[in-house]
Copies of this chain bind each other. A is one copy, B any other.
Amino acid sequence: MSRRPVDPRAARSRGIPEATVARLPVYHRALLALGESGVRTVSSEELATAAGVNSPKLRKDLSHLGSYGTRGVGYDVDYLIYQIARELGLTQDWAVVIVGVGNLGQALANYGGFAGRGFRIVGLVDADPARVGEQVAGVPVTHLGRLEGLVRSTRATIGVIAVPGPAAQQVCDRLIAAGVTSILNFAPVPLVVPAGVDVREVDLGVELQILAFHEQRKADAAVPALAAGR
């Protein structure tokens, strides 16, 4: 475990494929579940099943982090958990501000599994003065007017936008001006941000529409004569 405090071969810390990064959190979670079940060692086949991927893909993904497995044996669960956590930055403490205390904002505040992964919700912000002072999941609600002060005083670097669409861009701009450099956006509008700021858009409506597309495909396949216009 102390063999390589920092991997000298430059495979790590540079050029981990984006697709791999998106799967690492899933592996991490699957490993945590296995660890709690008392499993100490896991093969790529077993872990792949638990994570919902196939084993060659899993091995290739893990190989991007370094050689943390033992051939003929598998991966040490605890060690691999630590390595993935470190790579993802979960061993650090991330201050997160959530803007918008509607149902979605509350759902996020109550979401378990943030605290245990280094994410600390340091503030909830809402435009409604009536909600200020309220607490959700132990975090007090601050008025939108104090957004910048909250971000600065807590040194938050991650902002979550859960406000109605029309307000999203303005909230985004203010978050960035106050020092936020990563944004998770649930509002159904594409945000424009300066270089150096990361945005991830999560759109509940889009997901349903993608499903509808495939659903229609299935329906078309079942009644091909109609679909083909014959």
Contact = CB atoms under 8 A, between A and B. Distances in A.
Given A96-B208, A184-B211, A213-B24, A107 B102 contact: yes
A210 B107 contact: no
Given A26-B190, A107-B103, A190-B26, A21 B210 contact: yes
A26 B206 contact: yes
Contacts of A204: 107-108, 111, 202
A194 to B, nearest CB: 13
A145 to B, nearest CB: 25
Interface string A199-229: 0111111111111111110101000000111
Nearest to A102: B107
- The 5 A-B pairs with the shortest beta carbon distances in the complex, nearest first, are A52-B190, A89-B216, A103-B107, A6-B229, A25-B209
